[in-house]
Amino acid sequence: MSAIAACSHIICRENYQHQWLISSGGTNLLSLKSTTRTSWVECRKGEGEGRKLGKRNVRVEAFWQNLSRPSVIEMEPITDSDHLDQILLNAQQNSQPILIDWMAAWCRKCIFLKPKLEKLAAEYHNKLKFYCVDVNKVPQSLVNRGNISKMPTIQLWKDGEMKEEVIGGHKAWMVIEEVRDMIRKFV
User: Which residues are the active-site residues?
Assistant: 107, 110
Longest dimension (CA), the chain: 71
Q: What is the pLDDT of residue 109?
A: 94
Return the bridge partners of 27, or none. Answer: 24
Cis (ω within 30 of 0) for the bond into 70? no
Which of the 8 DSSP states describes residue 47?
A: S
Q: What is the predicted pLDDT for the residue at 148?
A: 95
Enumerate the β-bridge partners of residue 51: 42
Q: CA 27 to CA 113: how far, in whole Å? A: 25
Other Cβ atoms closer than 10 A to 163: 13
Q: What is the model's pLDDT at position 22?
A: 46
* Domains of the chain, first to last: 10-62 (no CATH), 76-186 (3.40.30.10)
Which residues touch 37 (CB under 8 Å, ≥6 apart)?
18
For 80, list phi and psi in degrees, rounded to 5. -160, 180
Hey, CA dihedral for 11, 15, 18, 23, is it positive or negative?
A: negative
Q: What are phi and psi of 131, to 5 degrees?
A: -130, 160
pLDDT tens across the length of the chain (187 residues): 444 545 434 444 433 344 444 444 444 444 444 444 444 444 444 444 445 445 555 555 555 666 677 889 999 999 999 999 999 999 999 999 999 999 999 999 999 999 999 999 999 988 999 999 999 999 999 999 999 999 999 999 999 999 999 998 889 999 999 999 999 999 8
Q: How far is CA 38 from the centre of its chain?
A: 36
Distance CA 136, CA 160 (A): 24
